[in-house]
Amino acid sequence: MIPSPLPPDFIPFNKPYLVGPELKYIAEAVALGKLSGNGIFTQRCQQFFEQVYGFRKALLTTSGTAALEMAALLLDLQPGDEVILPSFTFTSTANAFVLRGARIVFADSLPYHPNLDCSKVAKLITPRTRAIVPVHYAGVACDMAPLLHLAQKHNLCLVEDAAQAIESTYQGQALGSIGQLAAFSFHETKNIIAGEGGLLAINNPAFAERAEILWEKGTNRAAFFRGEVARYQWVDIGSSYLPSELIAAYLWGQLGALESIQQRRYQQWQRYYEALQPLARQGCFTLPFVPDYARHNAHIFYLLCTSLEERDALIRHLGQHRILAVSHYQPLHASPFYRARHDGRPLPHATAHAERLVRLPLYYELSLPEQQQVIAAVQSFYLGPCAR
């Protein structure tokens, strides 16, 4: 069943957009007669990510989910191996490793931010642990230094789920360039988009050659086209992780406007923050926290309400004002699929964020009058409760 579109006078939560040259580049790809992937636009995008963010090797994928699945394949996980990741995340973070037979060990969030509490990770490591997967929620970096220390101490792979984190940094270093592997998403809800699309960043050279083989359906086809082998053959497992040139061409158009996209999103994020700060000081809700070590990318603007009931009432109130706001992840440790497999530890902060968080509209084409309408609606909801 196709979901009904919002009425035309509704402010959507998200809106896919064109910045200008995307359709021209798609037409160029068609004219070149190379649509199946790893053509000129794929290579341009990959070189951009390697040069701008310092990734050792970048491979475009069909989605951020596919990039995570490739990372899990590269780890050669065996049934019973353990992977530590936050409970407050999208299903793809966990699914990639569950598909390889791994047992997920969920970590709790920080009390003041949805990111995983890095100080609790050491106690979760066992002889079966193979990887730690931090998720940079809302494009705000996890504290990577202690995670790097643990990964080196216990010989673990650090895989960054940077799906939301393009253009974000940790201590001045681009997210996605810190772990041995990293996954990005270019889904239509992200800062730069390709409809569906993703990227696997490979920072450990030991993974580079095999990653390309997995990417090319288990063949050494890419090496063949570079003239490195006489013919390409089936040499490993793999799948169809390589996106079409149409996806790459659209993404290339977005990358050319990255600076202007980010500038606009920062302005929108800051406008929310400044306008809603007086209510936050009164204790109505908590505004997003950005630690000193992080530069965020204005991917998400959220409020942490004081309760589940208040969160739901705020979403209804905004809907009555023709504004679509949404909650976010349900904690995976309590999900119908995994709760029987979870070890029973309560994860109170992940649960609290799931119950209290509401995301406000934030997208490239959100106009100033529309954003002011959202701000006014939030303010009108809290004027009564905060005055009492």
**Range 258-387 has CATH code 3.90.1150.10:** yes
**Range 22-255 has CATH code 3.40.640.10:** yes
Question: What tens digit of pLDDT does each residue of 251-282 get?
Answer: 999 999 999 999 999 999 999 999 999 999 99
Whose CA is closest to 65, among 227, 187, 151?
187
CA distance linking residue 279 with residue 378, whole number of Å:
9
The domains of the chain are located at 22-255, 258-387
Question: What tens digit of pLDDT does each residue of 199-211 get?
Answer: 999 999 999 999 9
Question: What tens digit of pLDDT does each residue of 72-102 get?
Answer: 999 999 999 999 999 999 999 999 999 999 9
Indicate the SS3 state at residue 204.
coil
Check for a shared fold between 22-255 and 258-387.
no
pTM metric for this prediction: 0.96
Ramachandran quadrant class, 122 (left: phi over 0; alpha: psi -120 to 50; beta: rest) = alpha
CA distance linking residue 75 with residue 276, whole number of Å:
44
Tokens 């490239």 belong to residue = 364
CA distance linking residue 21 with residue 60, whole number of Å:
20
Q: How many CA atoms lie within 13 A of 149 on its CB side?
A: 8
Whose CA is closest to 102, among 134, 136, 73, 143?
73
pLDDT value at position 388? 36
CA distance linking residue 207 with residue 7, whole number of Å:
48
